[in-house]
């Protein structure tokens, strides 16, 4: 009984907070994501420490639920119609932003005196972004510009390129310390991506044709959530990326469910509360003590990652011949970074424990910075690019 009332009181308070932050987000320069993260940090263990353990312990499952929904909704943006005119833009910008960021961060750290192995690993980690934060900002902003649609499509592919680059990075660093090449990391990354894609297709195809039949043309929330959660659960069980699997599922449903005006539209109505809880608990779990360990190397990493995203996105925009506003603001909008980067940092630390003392403090502290500051720039980019509509 004691834990139940603590859980319910905290849940109710956090959800009501979402309404307040939504209002503040429209009246201040801070987007809702940043406000939720800051509030979570204030009430978290680092400061006031008033979040009950029974609530904080559920963060992992809440994060999984929220991100599975994020993947599905992002996948829904990758329709044939939306990609006909922007496929080359999406591919060029997403690949260029990821590869150029990896290169600039790695070279910047090497020139600063960081060992080549650590520089390569951090460069690969820097390529990842935060799909949940960017999606939440676009939903909150209510913008309807082509820039927003292009941004969401790019973010949907970002983690794919990040995983590939990270796999290559681990393989290169491993081979540098061995007489023979070790390609196991690349194979693992490719298996994870391929498995996630196949799973998304396997669940998405029957979902596209069978859902929405109880009430023709309108898929109900129960079947929508059921299939999305099954996809996420199978991905976790199979140890493949549930974000990519749910994204592919969303894309398959969006393209093949001809009897749907918009696939699983009901999920947008329930995804919001999970996102509020997700960002508050993410803020509460931030370890600000790691910021004290960032040092000059961390500053070089943060600056070079920001430069890499801006330069990489701009190069991709020039190659694909986008308009000037998109060239100027797309890189800025891609700055948020969150859990995927920390996950990569943990994996890299496991493979190379001798680099753990450098990798984790930089990755965690820079993620805190980009998780709080990045959304501000994303909204700024949306506002500036929206002036053309």
Domain boundaries, the chain: 12-57, 59-278+291-388
| Region of poorest pLDDT, from 37-41, 226-230, 267-271 | 267-271
In the chain, alpha helices (H): 2-27, 32-43, 53-56, 59-75, 80-84, 87-111, 116-126, 131-141, 146-176, 184-210, 221-238, 242-256, 267-284, 295-320, 324-333, 339-351, 356-385
State both tokens at 90: 């999406």
For residues 145-150, average pLDDT: 82
pLDDT score, position 223: 76
Mean pLDDT of the chain: 79
Q: How many CB atoms lie within 10 A of CB 194?
A: 12
Indicate the pTM of the whole model. Answer: 0.75
For residues 326-349, average pLDDT: 82
pLDDT score, position 266: 61
Domain 59-278+291-388 grouped into CATH 3.40.50.620: no
By C-alpha distance, which of 296, 299, 373, 388 is closest to 338?
373
At residue 389 the predicted structure's pLDDT band, cuts being 50, 70 and 90, is: very low
At residue 294 the predicted structure's pLDDT band, cuts being 50, 70 and 90, is: low
Q: In terms of pLDDT, which residue wins out, 152 or 104?
A: 104
At residue 246 the predicted structure's pLDDT band, cuts being 50, 70 and 90, is: confident
275 CB contacts (<8 Å, ≥6 apart)? 66, 70, 132, 136
pLDDT score, position 24: 74
299 CB contacts (<8 Å, ≥6 apart)? none
pLDDT score, position 306: 94
Tell me: pLDDT of 218 over 60: no
pLDDT score, position 88: 79
């Amino acid at each position: 009984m004691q834990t139940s009332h603590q859980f319910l009181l905290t849940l109710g308070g956090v959800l009501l907070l979402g309404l307040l932050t939504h209002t503040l987000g429209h009246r201040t320069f801070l987007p809702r994501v940043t406000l939720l993260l800051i509030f979570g940090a204030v009430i978290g263990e680092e400061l006031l420490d008033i979040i009950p353990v029974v609530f904080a312990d559920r963060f992992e499952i809440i994060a999984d639920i929220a991100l599975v929904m994020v993947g599905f909704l992002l996948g829904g943006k990758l329709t044939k119609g939306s990609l006909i005119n922007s496929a080359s833009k999406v591919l060029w910008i997403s690949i260029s932003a990821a590869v150029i960021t990896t290169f600039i961060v790695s070279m910047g750290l090497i020139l600063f005196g960081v060992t080549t192995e650590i520089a390569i690993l951090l460069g690969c980690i820097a390529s990842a972004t935060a799909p949940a934060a960017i999606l939440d900002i676009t939903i909150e902003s209510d913008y309807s510009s082509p820039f927003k649609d292009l941004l969401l499509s790019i973010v949907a592919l970002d983690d794919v390129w990040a995983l590939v680059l990270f796999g290559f990075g681990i393989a290169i660093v491993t081979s540098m310390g061995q007489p023979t090449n070790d390609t196991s990391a690349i194979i693992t990354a490719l298996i994870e991506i391929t498995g996630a894609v196949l799973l998304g297709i396997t669940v998405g195809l029957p979902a596209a044709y069978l859902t929405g039949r109880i009430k023709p043309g309108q898929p109900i929330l129960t079947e929508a959530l059921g299939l999305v959660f099954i996809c996420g659960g199978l991905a976790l069980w199979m140890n493949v990326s549930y974000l990519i699997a749910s994204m592919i599922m969303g894309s398959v449903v969006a393209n093949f469910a001809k009897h749907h005006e918009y696939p699983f539209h009901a999920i947008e109505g329930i995804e919001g509360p999970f996102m509020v809880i997700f960002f508050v608990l993410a803020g509460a779990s931030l370890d600000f003590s790691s910021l004290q360990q960032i040092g000059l190397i961390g500053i070089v990493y943060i600056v070079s990652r920001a430069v890499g995203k801006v330069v990489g996105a701009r190069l991709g925009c020039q190659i694909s011949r986008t308009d000037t506003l998109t060239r100027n603001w797309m890189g800025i909008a891609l700055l948020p970074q969150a859990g995927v980067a920390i996950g990569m940092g943990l994996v890299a630390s496991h493979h190379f424990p001798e680099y753990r003392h450098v990798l984790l403090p930089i990755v965690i502290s820079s993620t805190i910075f980009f998780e709080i500051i990045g959304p501000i720039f994303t909204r700024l980019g949306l506002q500036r690019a929206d002036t053309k509509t």
